[in-house]
Amino acid sequence: MTDTQTLDEAAVSAYLTQNLPGFEGPMEVTKFQGGQSNPTFMLKTPAHSYVLRRKPPGVLLKSAHAVDREFRVQKALEGSDVPVSKMHLLCEDDSVIGSMFYIMDHVQGRNFNEPAMPDLTKADRSKVISEMNRVLAALHSVDIDAVGLSDYGPEGNYFERQVGRWSKQYRASETQSIPAMDQLMDALVGERPADDGQRTLVHGDYRIDNMIFDATGTDCCAVLDWELSTIGHPFADLAAVIMQWQLPAGSEGRGMGGLDRAALGLPSDEEFIAEYCARRGLSGIDNFGYYLGFTFFRMAAIIQGVLKRALDGNASNPERAMKVGAFVPVFAQHGLDALKRG
């Protein structure tokens, strides 16, 4: 089994001493246990705390684990209305630790593992979700030409491209036949809406657990995990938020299913979408069920890849990877249900 739990600390320290101004050891390394994609480590020195994010070792699917893209997009967003960590350097030399990696600041703050935020007050829950909405609208309002990201994704219909890409990724990591997934992929091709011309930066995995908030307040300090970001259609990100909320509440599902949202200070799907549209000057969104179905499909394809890596011995967190992988058929069925609702 390939070891993704440790890091060649001596090699990292030597490299940073030579290439990162102000870096000075000794360095204490701790692996973050969250996430399934790119192994991530805290590097703590007497003067500063950094984060190292690397590609996992082993044979990887083409275009997956793109830490170089993560570095580029966050560097481009520095100083924008989208809060990101400060990027320091990208090492593309695999010989240093065995795979590409980048170094960014460690952002102090708090992270919410589930959107219901059970430990917060009703008022603060409402403020955090509204801030999440603000950041999403700001992300989709970034002038991609001005920040140098106009070539960050290809031209053309985003959903056509994404359905094709993730269908190929899914087939490449398929471990069993799942009829609902086959039906969903066919439906996403046959029912695709006409392109409305919107072309923005999209995060690709926009969830509350990929955000760091002020330690005592409700402002967002940084959006994390940009691996799936590209230039595409903003409704995919919006639908991804709504998708998570359909899942069961609690630390496993990390959704809002079955909760009395109004009593908790949490918005309905419709309220969140309306607030987003108001921020972007949109009158509304037709056929939202398609975008929601697409996000369930993409998540099913992603977690199928997680499962395949676990079976191949390359998962960052093998036990969780196996557990998550079992939900591929569930996500596929949710996707079909969303399409039917329209």
Helix-then-strand count for the chain, H and E: 11, 9
Instruction: Identify the pLDDT of residue 1.
Output: 30
Of residues 159 and 324, more confidence is placed in 159
**Cα atoms found within 13 Å of the Cα of residue 153, Cβ hemisphere only:** 22
pLDDT of residue 342: 75
Q: Measure the CA–CA gap between 111 and 213, rounded to whole angstroms.
A: 6
> What is the structure's pLDDT at 35?
55
Among 3-7, 107-111, 333-337, which stretch is predicted with the lowest mean pLDDT? Answer: 3-7
Q: In angstroms, what CA-CA distances link 122 with 97, 126, 128, 215, 263?
A: 46, 6, 10, 17, 8
Longest dimension (CA), the chain: 57
- State the pTM of this model: 0.88
Q: Confirm if 84 and 125 have CB atoms less than 8 A apart.
A: no
pLDDT tens per residue, range 161-175:
999 999 999 999 998
Token readout for 157 is 């219909």
Output the pLDDT for position 309.
84
Give the count of beta carbons closer than 10 Å to the beta carbon of residue 152.
18
CA angle 155, 159, 165 (to 5 degrees): 85
Which residues make beta-bridge pairs with 42?
30, 51
What is the per-residue pLDDT across 53-96, written as a single tens digit (0 to 9) for each?
Answer: 998 866 555 555 689 999 999 999 999 999 999 999 999 999 99
